[in-house]
Amino acid sequence: MYDILIKNGTVIDGTGKTPVLADVGIAGGLITDIGLGLRADKAERVIDAKDHYVTPGFIDIQNHSDSYWTLFDQPEQKSLLAQGITTIVTGNCGSSLAPLTSPESLKTIQKWHNLSGINVNWSSFHELLEMIAASPRGVNVAGLVGHATLRRGILGDQPRLAKPEEISVMESLLQVALNEGGMGLSMGLVYAHEVDSGTEELLRLTRHLKKSDKYLSIHLRSEGGAVLDAVDEAINLAAKCEVPVKISHLKVRGRKNWHNFDRVVSKLENAYHQGINVTFDAYPYSSSWSVLYTYLPRWAYEGGRNEILRRLADATDRRKILDYLKGQDYDYGMITVATAEGHSGFQGKTIRQIAANQATSNEEAMLNLIAASQTQVIVFDHNLNEEHVELFLSNPLGMVATDGAGYNSEVPELVHPRCFGTMPRFLKMVREKRIMRWEQAIPKMTSEPARLLGLNERGTLKKGAAADVVVFDPLSIQDRATYDHPFGHPIGINSVMVNGRVAWDANQFVGSFGKVIRR
């Protein structure tokens, strides 16, 4: 007896094989049968998938539902389920919610979310996962261990190289967290509390991943003028430590840097052909969702919030920062404010509009905004080349990820439309622009991230696998979220199953059936 029988669909199993007409039987949370002619009278529920594709549930390998805190405030994660996402990987860009060795540890997420009123009743990685598992979640949740979380717990706000004995403590904390279920290590080398990380520190931590066959996710030190050096750093970590390295949300930011695109791709492909295990994820949008202070010169944000504010208040330092910004040949005026803590009136306005209102330059307006919002400013910046985005997504080394968070409904601030539309937007691109075949596209959201995570039971449709399944219409699937109205659910997703139960059906949320995933 099947709990669910999906009849008459075109199965794309996630392995790259040619799509086939088949039925899929589900029982006890697992896929029990795949083939033609499975009997409908032996199922409690039958889903007619005629003219629809049946695929594994999508895995969001680069997710921030933890750092935006929506994993707790909005645990159903409806915006992710609605686009076919059944599993998310959190703890990205160097910031995780455990292990918490000091009050400073949690502050790594304050660039994304205000910490006021947050209740934390865990310290270890095990305790975090147990807390997540204790309440229903709409999607399966896995987590990485954040380098900045480890580092800030030991060094606090000190902008300096870590001492050998401090690195040893970080190593111990990392190894315990990996043993407790962490899927790997993440780094956010562009951010204030990791920019001073030395090569020896990065190597010593990364080497711990090899023995447990886990991976490193790395937000590059630069995605603009120094992107080539940053890619080299990631490749060297992969080569010297002999571990898989995934570059987070790979992009080349800024028109004047777009000429480096071919060299970035060549570096990665050459490394792969030399046997170095390097991959990346990307999203199908030409805008970033960035922390505004990262546009400042590196020295200006070393040490975190208090040091940034001190330097902005110092006349000499402020002049140096302004000189740097004006020397970058960058149109800061086109940047749009998504969130400015304590200043909702700036939301949706461009830096150019804010500058005009203040009768000052774009650069001065940026610094005024950062100071007024206590550094907590997140912006949209349309600084990517559309063709490059498509080429990254279609590259064999690339996976598709939201780099966003899950939301249940509208919230007061603007969020990036990728939180609601990434997977359907990519699939629409596959249909309309034919950047690859369907059987090549689906693994980028399923089996390829599952392989990186070491999850043999997810990411493909096969007998005995966990029944995370998506049924969608390839002719109508598309995103509806925009920058002005980012909260629209996509169309074309018929049903989404998580662990063998229907969680999203006919554009409606049904229930939360996600699990915590450990290795």
CATH number at residue 471: 2.30.40.10
Q: What angle do CA 434, 437, 439 make, to 5 degrees?
A: 150
CA distances from 209 to 203, 213, 230, 250, 419 (A): 10, 6, 21, 22, 30
The DSSP secondary structure of 224-245, one letter per residue, reads STTHHHHHHHHHHHHHHHT--E
Determine the pLDDT at residue 175: 97
The dihedral over CA atoms of 354, 355, 358, 360, expressed in degrees to the nearest 10, equals 170
Same domain, yes or no, for 152 and 262? yes
> In this structure, is residue 198 part of a structural domain?
yes
Give the pLDDT confidence of 241-297 residue by residue, as tens digits: 999 999 999 999 999 999 999 999 999 999 999 999 999 999 999 999 999 999 999
> In this structure, is residue 481 part of a structural domain?
no
Determine the pLDDT at residue 348: 93
Of the three residues 381, 397, 421, the one that is the final residue of a domain is: 381
Q: How many CA atoms lie within 13 A of 113 on its CB side?
A: 22
Same domain, yes or no, for 417 and 432? yes
Same domain, yes or no, for 494 and 388? no
Same domain, yes or no, for 296 and 280? no
Determine the pLDDT at residue 463: 97
Same domain, yes or no, for 211 and 334? no
In the structure encoding, which two tokens stand for residue 25, read together? 């039987």
What radius of gyration, in Å, describes the C-alpha atoms of the chain? 22
Same domain, yes or no, for 212 and 140? yes
Determine the pLDDT at residue 504: 98
Q: How far apart are CA 376 and CA 371, in angstroms?
A: 9
AA identity, residue 166: E
> In this structure, is residue 240 part of a structural domain?
yes
Same domain, yes or no, for 274 and 421? yes
Determine the pLDDT at residue 304: 82
Beta strand segments in 244-283, E: 245-247, 278-282
Give the CATH number of the domain where residue 258 resides.
3.20.20.140
Determine the pLDDT at residue 207: 97
Q: Are 500 and 27 in contact (CB under 8 A)?
A: yes
> Taking Cα atoms as reference points, which of 27, 34, 37 lies closest to residue 1?
27
> In this structure, is residue 157 part of a structural domain?
yes
> In this structure, is residue 515 part of a structural domain?
no
Same domain, yes or no, for 133 and 29? no
Same domain, yes or no, for 346 and 472? no
Counted domains in the chain: 3
> In this structure, is residue 484 part of a structural domain?
no
Determine the pLDDT at residue 289: 92
Give me the tens of pLDDT residue by residue for the chain, a chain 519 residues long.
Answer: 999 999 999 999 999 999 999 999 999 999 999 999 999 889 999 999 999 999 999 999 999 999 999 999 999 999 999 999 999 999 999 999 999 998 888 878 878 888 777 889 999 999 999 999 999 999 999 999 999 999 999 998 887 899 999 999 999 999 999 999 999 999 999 987 888 899 999 999 999 999 999 999 999 999 999 999 999 999 999 999 999 999 999 999 999 999 999 999 999 999 999 999 999 999 999 999 999 999 999 899 888 888 999 999 999 999 999 999 999 989 999 999 999 988 889 999 999 999 999 999 999 999 999 999 999 999 999 999 999 999 999 999 999 999 999 999 888 889 999 999 999 999 999 999 999 999 999 999 999 999 999 999 999 999 999 999 999 999 999 999 999 899 999 999 999 999 999 999 999 999 999 999 998
AA identity, residue 480: R
Determine the pLDDT at residue 213: 95
Same domain, yes or no, for 101 and 145? yes
Range of the domain at 505: 2-56+462-476+489-509
> In this structure, is residue 356 part of a structural domain?
yes
Same domain, yes or no, for 125 and 254? yes
> In this structure, is residue 483 part of a structural domain?
no
Determine the pLDDT at residue 107: 79
